[in-house]
Copies of this chain bind each other. A is one copy, B any other.
Amino acid sequence: MRITALAGGVGGARFLRGLLHHARQTAAAAEGRGAADHLELTVIGNTGDDITLFGLRVCPDIDTLLYTLGGGIHEGQGWGRADETHHLAEELAALGAEPQWFTLGDKDFATHVYRSQLLGQGMPLSAVVERLSARWGLGELGVRLLPMTDTPVETHVVVDDGGDQRAIHFQEWWVRHRAALPAERFVVAGLDRATPAPGVLDAIREADLVVLPPSNPVVSIGIILGVPGVRDALRGTRAPVVGVSPLVGGRPVRGHADVCLRTIGVEESSAGVAGLYSDFLDGWLVDEDDAMPDRRGLEVVRRPLLMSSVEAAADMAGATVDLGMRLRAARATA
């Protein structure tokens, strides 16, 4: 089964790790019945919050996906490497280098140094991600990770700083100010002239199921949808598109999706998020207690949406796949 997912950072990565866990369980059970169906997972990762720090190109969402799926993530944080030291960053601080609000560990720095070297040699980001994926053994897991685009894209936030409007990098707003600085709007530099990375559109068109994990609908999935061609591919694919709401009771489980929705003038609710995807969404998982009005052509499933463990994430991913398969079967018989 070919599943294609559009993913941001922590939430997307944890959901997809759950999906792999679920697929292994299902495959083990199916092998007992002699009917194993191998999962081929293509992940289209957001690069909209990429940033250049100390002259090095940092791709926070791509790296969180690599580390989480490859088994190197810092579980407590959700981002960065496990068993990490920060000697390089401490020395950069001693040198007076800015910024100091973005935490980069020594092992993590290696990813950025390596990526920056290859990009500097003219290698496209997608080829760099392929190399990083090999280091993390994603191929052996049946996972192909693609950046949404090879075109450098950066999200900036226009903030109101005591009456003065100025644009700061998304990471500065998100990490340094914890999304607490009043945001007027998001400006995604480079997005309108970005082209989907090789394989992105085909992965959507040729999938058996397209999944939207509970990633931020504005600054993660919303950015991927803004890459010219991606939204059309989602509208045109014959695969069902099933999403998982990132909100529980109108609040994000993690991150600041509510603030992001407010900024773009969309209701902070599962219904509000579904509205952003209304032109291509077929199935929608929402939390048990969430209000979600019926909408023609949208199959809603209610269930707990907490990813408190790999097993819980696997259950959630399993429910997503089940809904997708149900929609597929319904189409086949229609």
Q: Which residues of A contact B (CB under 8 A)?
A: 54-56, 84-85, 87-92, 94-97, 105-107, 109-111, 113-114, 116-117, 120-121, 131-132, 135
Contacts and interface: CB of A to CB of B under 8 A. Distances in A.
6 contacts: A55-B121, A85-B85, A85-B87, A87-B110, A91-B106, A106-B106
B92 A55 contact: no
Given A85-B85, A91-B111, A95-B110, 19 more contacts: A55-B120, A56-B117, A85-B87, A85-B106, A87-B106, A87-B107, A88-B88, A88-B107, A88-B113, A91-B106, A91-B107, A92-B114, A94-B110, A95-B111, A95-B131, A96-B131, A96-B135, A97-B114, A109-B109
A169 B237 CA distance: 53
Contacts of A84: 87
Contacts of A87: 84-85, 87, 105-107, 110
Between A91, A114, A116, A135, the greatest number of chain B beta carbons within 10 A of the residue's beta carbon is seen for A91
A18 B11 CA distance: 57
B56 A94 contact: no
Nearest to A131: B95
Nearest to A86: B106
Given A55-B113, A113-B113, A117-B54, A135 B85 contact: no
A117 to B, nearest CB: 3
B116 A55 contact: yes
A135 B116 CA distance: 26
A71 B302 CA distance: 63
A131 B95 CA distance: 8
A135 B88 contact: no
